[in-house]
Amino acid sequence: MTPESSQPDDALREVRPAPPQSDNATKSRAPSSNGGRTKPPDRDTRVIGQPAFVLHGYPYKETSLIVDVFSRDYGRVALIAKGAKRPHSKLRGVLQTFQPLSMGWSGKAEVRTLTQAEWIGGLLPLEKSALLCGFYLNELLVKLLARDDPHPALFDHYIATLNELAHDEPAPIVLRKFERALLKETGVGGNFTQCVATGQPVEESKIYVVDPERGPRPAHPADTAPRVSGKTLLDMEREDYTDSTTQAQSKFLMRFLLAHHLGGAPLNTRQILIDLMQL
């Protein structure tokens, strides 16, 4: 089944998530101190009609799959899709990346049981280099989002980013916007408009480095972090990448910040993008 529409928002918003079916079902939504997985629900949770995307999947036993999904109201969730590898399973053609889905699940373990997955439509398919960029987005989400930590604004930004990639918007600019939104949504993005050393507004004409844990400060000769102009920082904050200098400096800055928050974990898709497209 091939998506045809180029307007994602209305199609996705038509499927509204239903409340959990269990009584007083709760779950821990705060990420752990090291950014790892969160504690699963203490009681059985049932979810239906939840807008979601498959981020990654891998085989489980002979006929099943484990899928990592990004949902609007429950964040990143791990689900077991029982029998999805069987030849006649309805799930075989549904559990694909970059396809808007309406999903349901149940259970209280860290890996819950998929009970529903239906294709919604509303996005053009990603092709060629845009497809590789999509896999890069998914790898970022898998490695930087804690499980069961909802980010509805980031979910909507993800949809918009896929739509921009599908319509051949400039990939470097699209990816910079998403990277910045991801770090801000997860609470580690900082404020690029204020100097943390002086408390004063960032000035366009000055040169700064960005402390990954605190934010911008004036650059010193001994600094090894990427040097960026105040204008670049302010352009990034307002999502204005028309300046070629802003594009170049933001690329190295985001690469530096992501490496820090990933704790040195490599991004396989980014290296491929660097090799092929110098992103």
Domain total of the chain = 2
Rounded to two decimals, the pTM is: 0.81
- Residue 15 is predicted with a pLDDT of 36
Q: What is the crossing angle of helices 244-261 and 171-185, to 10°?
A: 40
Dist. CA 61–CA 207, nearest whole Å: 55
- Residue 98 is predicted with a pLDDT of 97
Q: Mean pLDDT, the chain, as a whole number? A: 85
Q: What is the CATH number of the domain that holds 260?
A: 1.20.1440.120
Is residue 131 in some structural domain?
Answer: no
Q: How many CB atoms lie within 10 A of CB 114?
A: 24
Is residue 88 in some structural domain?
Answer: yes
| Residues 261 and 179 occupy one common structural domain | yes
pLDDT digits 0-9 by tens, 87-107: 888 888 899 999 999 999 999
Question: Which residues constitute the domain of residue 48?
Answer: 8-18+44-119
CA–chain centroid gap for 66, Å, is 19
Q: How many CB atoms lie within 10 A of CB 6?
A: 11
* 156 CB-side CA count, 13 A: 7
Beta pairing, strands 207-211 & 101-107: unpaired
pLDDT digits 0-9 by tens, 69-86: 999 999 999 999 999 999
Q: What is the CATH number of the domain that holds 68?
A: 2.40.50.140
